Amino acid sequence: MSRGRGSTKPGNTGPSQRQLRVGEEIRHALADILRRGDFRDPGLQDVNVTVTEVRVSPDLKNATAFVMPLGGGHPEVIAALNHAAPFFRAQIAHAVRLQHAPRIGFQEDTSFAYADRIDRLLHDPAVARDITRDLDAEGVPLDRGGAEDGEDGEDDDDLDAPDAPDLDGGEREGRRGA
């Protein structure tokens, strides 16, 4: 049975605070290692890579680094990074103070492509028409559930009970129950 607060527990929906902290430390260490660029692998020479996120397993023994290679060549760069993973693990062991250096795996970060897809969908003319149809001139959503003010001839401000007194102490006209 697991003693940690990781995402393996049924009631826990996200990573623990320690997983987030360790992941951020590893992300900074990987960014520094990649910035220095002292690799023997020719597939990693002159390659710019952004480390967007590092997710760490609850036992802190495995880590997945999500990277975005700049300038294309995604499959080759990701394969070269995974090939050099033992080198990165050794460098992280020196840079981050942990009992065990986690095994590192690299994956392409698809969150930017997903955000771009959502943005394109929101700017699609059919979707934009549906969004702006329900807004007034100032961009405020219209209430489609009931009548607008003044359409039914009565005030919509008084939503109290029919026999409730007004603020001035009198009873409301035309609203008495039978």
| Tens digits of residue pLDDT in 29-86 | 999 998 888 888 877 877 888 899 999 999 999 999 999 888 766 778 889 899 999 9
| Tens digits of residue pLDDT in 134-155 | 667 776 777 665 545 545 545 5
Cα angle at 27 between 84 and 22, to 5 degrees?
Answer: 110
What lies within 8 Å, CB to CB, of 82 at 6+ separation is: 105, 106
What domains can be seen in the chain, in order of their start residue? Answer: 17-109 (3.30.300.20), 110-141 (no CATH)
- Average pLDDT over the chain reads 76
